Amino acid sequence: MVVLPAEAMPTDPLSPDTEPAVAPTPPRAPSRLLTALAALLLTTPLLAAAHQARPAPYGDRLTVHAPVQHPTPQLRIHRAAVEAYDHATGGLRWRYTREGRRPLTVLPARGEAITLWDDGLVTDTDGSSVRWHRGLPAAADWLPAHGGTGVLRHLGRGILAVVTPRRIAAYRTADGDLRWVLPARKGCAFRPERALHRGRALLVAQPCVRAAWTGQLVAVDDLGRITPHRTPLGNDTPTRHPEPRDRTTGPRARPEGPP
């Protein structure tokens, strides 16, 4: 019989004096909240990058170099861009382009720039954002050969006239809202380059094959074609709570007290 030393004797797993071996506790899995936060931290930069990579509507690219100190900057077309320069310093304030497009003409309007582009789009920008876009119908039929000479015209009281061979359209410069449309007479066509201002009226040539000379000239203003006894238009920007109006006396007084 061989006697082994105590330290060399095997441990009886069933012995009451022997402590059972404790398995190591596995690390806790991260909670759902931590998982959600980690996913959010990883996703946010990806969403921001995707937003920046998203193409701007209409291919707009507006780069602001410095705030405009003068309310109406000096505008010019340089290559494929509309640029605004400060009158006081001569420094470049902002630059506006559209991807793959070329500006044909630009019209200043109270600190804003209204531009006609070679695809027939009319835009308005104040140097901090592009405020509105309007497309000219059937521009491909005449714009490439004609160009933008005389197409954009001021009508006063915040109204812009866009003169094309087939029609004259008036837009409110504050928001681009279409106010009225005057089509050319049958067999006639407007000539934007032969339009001129006389007082508050814009006189537009409308050559016709068979017509008296009086029918070959149209006079318009911010209310539309100038004719006797025409109905005035409300071209002001709508307010949230317009005053009640009377057709003969103007704004109607509010009643005082019970009737």
CB atoms within 10 A of CB 24: 5
The reply to whether 180 falls in a domain is yes
Tokens 């001021």 sit at which residue? 154
Q: Which domain holds residue 84?
A: 55-135
The reply to whether 240 falls in a domain is no
The neighbouring-strand residues paired with 188 are 208
| Same domain, yes or no: 153 and 226 | yes
Among the listed residues 57, 74, 189, 235, the one whose alpha carbon sits nearest the alpha carbon of residue 130: 57
Contacts of 76 (CB under 8 A, 6+ apart): 82, 83, 85, 106
Contacts of 228 (CB under 8 A, 6+ apart): none
Question: End of a domain among 135, 157, 179?
Answer: 135
For 31, phi then psi, to 5°, come to -70, 165
| Same domain, yes or no: 117 and 180 | no
pTM of the shown model:
0.69
pLDDT of 131 over the 60 cut: yes
The reply to whether 200 falls in a domain is yes
Q: Give the pLDDT band of residue 126 (cuts 50, 70, 90).
A: very high
Q: Give the pLDDT band of residue 70 (cuts 50, 70, 90).
A: low
Q: The domain spanning residue 224 has which CATH number?
A: 2.40.10.480
What is the pLDDT at residue 240?
57
Model confidence pLDDT, tens digit, residues 72-102: 789 999 999 999 998 888 899 999 999 999 9
The reply to whether 34 falls in a domain is no
| Same domain, yes or no: 143 and 130 | no
CA angle 108, 131, 155 (to 5 degrees): 40
**Number of domains observed in the structure of the chain:** 2
What is the pLDDT at residue 257?
45
The reply to whether 9 falls in a domain is no
- How far apart are the C-alpha atoms of 54 and 46, rounded to whole Å? 12
| Same domain, yes or no: 199 and 161 | yes
The reply to whether 105 falls in a domain is yes
User: Quick check: 156 and 200 in contact, CB under 8 A?
Assistant: yes
The whole-chain average pLDDT of the chain stands at 79
How far is CA 125 from its chain centroid? 7
What is the pLDDT at residue 58?
93
| Same domain, yes or no: 112 and 169 | no
| Same domain, yes or no: 129 and 148 | no
| Same domain, yes or no: 152 and 195 | yes
The reply to whether 1 falls in a domain is no
Model confidence pLDDT, tens digit, residues 8-59: 444 444 444 545 455 555 555 456 666 665 555 555 554 444 334 345 679 9
